[in-house]
Structure 1
Amino acid sequence: MAKQGYHHGNLAQALVDACLSLIEARGPMGFTLSEAAREAGVTPAAVYRHFQGRDDLIAEAALQGYTVFADRMEAAYATGQPSDLRAFLATGAAYLQFARDNPGHYVAMFESGISVNRSPALNAAASRGLGVLEQAAADLSRHIPPARRPPPQMFAAHVWALSHGVVELFARGNPGRTSPYSPDDLLETGVGIYLRGLGLLPADT
Structure 2
Amino acid sequence: MRLRHKPWAKDKLESHPEFVVHNPEDWKGKWDQAFKNNGPIHIEIGTGKGRFITEMAKANPMINYIGVELQESVIVSALDRLIEADVPNLKLMNMNAEKLTDYFEKGEINRVYLNFSDPWPKTRHEKRRLTYKTFLDSYQSVLEDKGEIHFKTDNQGLFEYSLQSFSAYGMLLKYVSLDLHNSNYEGNIMTEYEEKFSERGNRIYRCEVQFK
| TM-score, normalised via structure 2 length | 0.27
More helix by share: 1
More strand by share: 2
Higher-Rg structure is 1
